[in-house]
Chain A
Amino acid sequence: MTTRTSNALAIPTCSLAVCRVEAGFPSPADDYMEGSLDLNEYVIKHPSATYFVRASGDSMTGAGIFHGDLLIVDRSLEPVHGKVIIAEVDGQLTVKRLLKTKDHVSLQSENASYPPIEFQEGNEVVVWGVVTHVLHNLL
């Protein structure tokens, strides 16, 4: 415990010494002015391929996706087994979990009251993008 405390204190003390201000108020934050944390940087790895999409309905509540949530969708990622994806079904876009076995593909809801959408052999799922994050409003 003691070591951790002294380490934590050591960091600002050290940078204060680096900050040379000749007049006025020296701000202890001077050396940190360069940039703030950018949420885009955290959630967007491929800007050209990333889209924001609004979720509707309750078919994916089990995956933590609720009505009105913001989904961050990366189209550059490969849609592999188990990922939550946006897929095209009958000319409409829908958010579901992709389940892929050797000879079977289905789109699973995360809500017991919705049956899975099964794809027979030769019938390919058209994937629109892979959901990477959900932004859920708690207010």
Chain B
Amino acid sequence: MKIFALVDCNNFYASCERVFDPGLKGRAIVVLSNNDGCIVARSNEAKALGIPMGVPLFEQKAIIKKHDVAVFSSNYQLYGDMSQRVMNSIRLHVPDMEVYSIDEAFLRLDHLQPRNLYEYCKLIRRKILQWTGIPVSIGIGPTKVLAKVANHIAKKQNGIFDIRNRQEQDKILQTLDAGKLWGIAGRWSERLSRMNIKKASELRDADPTIIRKHLSVVGERILRELKGQPCIDLESIQPRKSIMSSKSFGNLLTKKEPLEEALANYAARACEKLRKQKSRAQAVYVFVQTNGFRKTDRQYNNAFTRTLSIPTSDTRVIIDAAKFCLNKIYRHGYRYKKTGIMLLDLIPASLEQKQLFNNVNHLSSDRMMDIVDLINNDHGPDTLFFGAQGVVREWKMRCGSRSPRYTTQWNELLTVG
């Protein structure tokens, strides 16, 4: 029988901030999107205060002030590096893993004795916490969908939950709303509701052919997974917060050019998905991996994150950023098995347009260029320099509350007395 585990970092962005500032323990934390516009992550304490996800910061100003909530601009260099540390720590224990998003990974634990399974997950959890400072929850199940359900319960309990016991599984699925299941999007949830399918157990016991007709083959797969039959192709369900595109190569690659080519292809696919859901990305995360199963090969895993000053869904911009990241992490002399790209900090394109409207600099770039040329001609190149500095300063202002990039910038290291 197959055994899957989902390792999910608890409130990942808030936890990253806490690693380097223990004074934040117990304090409510919110993290903002790239331009300090919206709340994109919350600590448990912030959730308890009733601060919603995805809302503009200004709407929450009062509650933030009243409860002394710590507000951070997003620090994707830090989050990307910490993610890489968490994933590598997991990989050392379980080579058969698949990174699913910046803060989640699926593991295959078939090889473990059932008796040892829980203890082993405890060990993984303890090691990740000690090595990286990031707390994680682990859900264990016979399929990925069920492992995901188990993870939700693990978060509320003591960090690990095994859902393979049939009776317990039944009880849980009977109370769980079908709309809360992994991969069931808002529209599907409405459709299920009209079919009088409200609970996860009702979806599980529905007729697969009818579900296929209404929710496509992905819906049918979710149903089968709920029954305990593993069949989810990871590509078919995208995480909400980020979009990932990656693939293992047929042959191991050593040169940079083919890696670059593959990456550009993945980037193009990720951008298509991005535009399809009418979003824009504000950061790009690129990783490379060697084959952990080839014990004789030298191993190398690395990742790099680049933030984009302007949210975009433009494939050319994303490919450029991806190439930049690859340049940073590519090392000669390794046999690469996999590369991939993750688009992070997604915001709705509509929201971004509103912000652009307030920001004349970005909106009518043609007009701005005309003005810059004019000033340049009249007053010399220094003026152009100041013009550019103005844009930078404005950008800096919009991430005014960013924590230091503790792990990726020499001049921003943590200081201890």
- Main DSSP-derived SS at the B contact region: helix
10 pairs of residues in contact across A and B, judged by CB atoms under 8 Å: A46-B131, A48-B132, A49-B85, A53-B415, A54-B414, A56-B415, A75-B131, A94-B417, A95-B417, A128-B133
Known A48-B88, A93-B414; further 18 A-B contacts with Cβ < 8 A: A48-B86, A48-B89, A48-B92, A49-B89, A49-B131, A49-B132, A51-B407, A51-B414, A53-B416, A54-B414, A54-B415, A54-B416, A56-B417, A75-B133, A76-B127, A91-B25, A92-B23, A94-B416
> Does any Cβ of A come within 8 Å of B413's Cβ?
yes
> Does any Cβ of B come within 8 Å of A59's Cβ?
yes
With the chains together, A70 CA to B130 CA distance in Å?
21
CB-based contact B131/A51 at 8 Å: no
Who on chain B is nearest to A51 by CB? B407
> Does any Cβ of A come within 8 Å of B250's Cβ?
no
Q: How large is the interface on B (under 10, 10 to 19, 20 to 34, 35 or more residues)?
A: 20 to 34
- Main DSSP-derived SS at the A contact region: strand
Which residues does B use to contact A, with CB under 8 Å? 22-23, 25, 84-86, 88-89, 92, 127, 130-133, 333, 406-407, 410, 413-417
Residues of B with C-beta under 8 A to A118: none
With the chains together, A52 CA to B414 CA distance in Å?
8
Given A47-B88, A48-B88, A91-B22, A53 and B414 touching (CB < 8 A)?
A: yes
Kindly provide the distance from the CB of A123 to the nearest chain B CB, expressed in whole angstroms: 16
Number of interface residues of A (CB under 8 A): 26
> Does any Cβ of B come within 8 Å of A86's Cβ?
yes
Who on chain B is nearest to A53 by CB? B414
Kindly provide the distance from the CB of B230 to the nearest chain A CB, expressed in whole angstroms: 29
With the chains together, A76 CA to B23 CA distance in Å?
22
Residues of B with C-beta under 8 A to A35: 333
Residues of B with C-beta under 8 A to A24: none
- Give chain A interface residues in 50-95, CB to chain B under 8 Å: 51-57, 59, 70-71, 75-76, 86, 88, 91-95
Residues of A with C-beta under 8 A to B89: 48-49
Who on chain A is nearest to B407 by CB? A51
Kindly provide the distance from the CB of A54 to the nearest chain B CB, expressed in whole angstroms: 4
> Does any Cβ of B come within 8 Å of A39's Cβ?
no
Residues of A with C-beta under 8 A to B415: 53-56
> Does any Cβ of B come within 8 Å of A126's Cβ?
yes
